[in-house]
Structure 1
């Protein structure tokens, strides 16, 4: 059944004249059914705002169902989301709340969100921040994520943080030459990192993150998880601050 059809049903339920019709459509004769349909059509043409109202009700119910699904999914995948040893942890590691971001270095909205998320974490001071490498925009995205993960596996969290910052601001194409220069700028030997990028341990992190995103019905970036809530897509700083405040208020 299409959403429009469902909306029509919801709208019809609010029509007193039709609700008082003595015969149900399934027991009507062909002539009665045709008359009923004509009456419905005429009423809706005269009152088109009912369709908008019905669709608003449907959208609200769908949003509530989606939110409930997110709560249940996050609860069932809690450790994979918030406590995966393969993820870099920044902000305040002992913070009272954890914000998780699924991100792609080549995503324009991730880049737009970067400074705002950084400001949110810095000014709040009590947010534990987790990054999920989630390359979805092609080979350049994949190479960037491989480089970042390889840096972390070889050189640790501090080096990863610098690589992460550099990759999100990188304007050139992330090919071996560009990434080799980037490694040098970070004070790291390039070849071991480039060799590590294809290692099974690196690719497994990316596969695991894709599998997790699929379970959570996350298909784009950025996507944020906070407590039992999921925010899909970019949001300005003020909205992110409200997102954090709501999570804290909910206990």
Structure 2
């Protein structure tokens, strides 16, 4: 119905302001006008397509503008919370933040591309935000990853993160212990730590940040001042290049 009304509005934009007053039309005139609109749309369907595309473009532009405002309002929590893992080039001209869930298929799919981009670009500061939202295993994996960082440091965390991103089997104490040992982390200390308040504080802060920014899915990326909800269709490398060009 909204699309029909939009097309009707387009049809009448060339008429004088006083020539179109629905309230003053008789039933017969309204019926005739409706028939004319239907006939026009049947003969010119591209008008309806253009109207819908225009409305969608405006909606997306409004959402992008709002997302930029959300990033600006939450920039300290996003880029400098002092608790999230930070890698890549700490002095890079681009800061890329990922909200990730270890049981998210899309996160796993884009991870190799993301890692290759950070390595080959050499000028990207990379921040990981643990955001478990899918399953109980998501929560368990995130708790363990944060605990590893707290008890064994950022290098061990990154190895555990990479292993969890490529893990196809179940997340349980056995698989987490194996992953931690392969990463050179203290598995027992991490397991003891993972249900503690210090870990919970990190995950709670991430969830509150995501809620405030209306982030409801993973992966979600923030690249400098832009927010990308999901994997960009143009690819991660092209998305970064576009933002660089906009800011240069």
TM-score, with length taken from structure 1:
0.90
Distance (Å, rounded) in 2 between the aligned partners of 1:201 and 1:41: 63
Q: 2:24 aligns with which of 24, 27, 31?
A: 27
Q: How does 1:161-240 map to 2 (within 5 A)?
A: 161-235=158-232, 239-240=235-236
Classify 1:244/1:17 alpha carbon distance in 2 versus 1 (closer, same or farther; 3 Å).
Answer: closer
Q: Report how far residue 107 of structure 1 moved.
A: 1.1
Q: How does 1:76-91 map to 2 (within 5 A)?
A: 76-91=73-88
Contact 1:8 1:54 survives alignment (8 Å): no
Contact 1:13 1:19 survives alignment (8 Å): no
Distance (Å, rounded) in 2 between the aligned partners of 1:235 and 1:246: 11
Distance (Å, rounded) in 2 between the aligned partners of 1:17 and 1:152: 62
Structure 2 counterpart of 1:242: 238
Distance (Å, rounded) in 2 between the aligned partners of 1:190 and 1:242: 38
The alignment status of 1:45 with 2:65, answered yes or no, reads: no
Structure 2 counterpart of 1:124: 121
Distance (Å, rounded) in 1 between the aligned partners of 2:6 and 2:215: 29
Distance (Å, rounded) in 2 between the aligned partners of 1:171 and 1:17: 58
Matched positions, count: 246
The alignment status of 1:151 with 2:156, answered yes or no, reads: no
Q: Which runs of 5+ in 2 are unaligned?
A: none
Q: Report how far residue 47 of structure 1 moved.
A: 2.4
Residues 1-51 of structure 1: per-residue CA shift (max 9 Å, x gap): xxx50x333322322588458241122233332332232223223322221
Distance (Å, rounded) in 2 between the aligned partners of 1:47 and 1:67: 31
TM-score, with length taken from structure 2:
0.91
Indicate the RMSD between aligned Cα atoms, in angstroms: 2.0
Classify 1:95/1:30 alpha carbon distance in 2 versus 1 (closer, same or farther; 3 Å).
Answer: same
Residues 197-232 of structure 1: per-residue CA shift (max 9 Å, x gap): 111221222122122222222211111111221112
Distance (Å, rounded) in 1 between the aligned partners of 2:24 and 2:239: 51
Distance (Å, rounded) in 2 between the aligned partners of 1:27 and 1:215: 47
Distance (Å, rounded) in 1 between the aligned partners of 2:42 and 2:124: 53
Distance (Å, rounded) in 1 between the aligned partners of 2:109 and 2:231: 8
Distance (Å, rounded) in 1 between the aligned partners of 2:160 and 2:127: 15
Q: Which runs of 5+ in 1 are unaligned?
A: none
Contact 2:89 2:126 survives alignment (8 Å): yes
Residues 131-157 of structure 1: per-residue CA shift (max 9 Å, x gap): 011111111111110010000111111
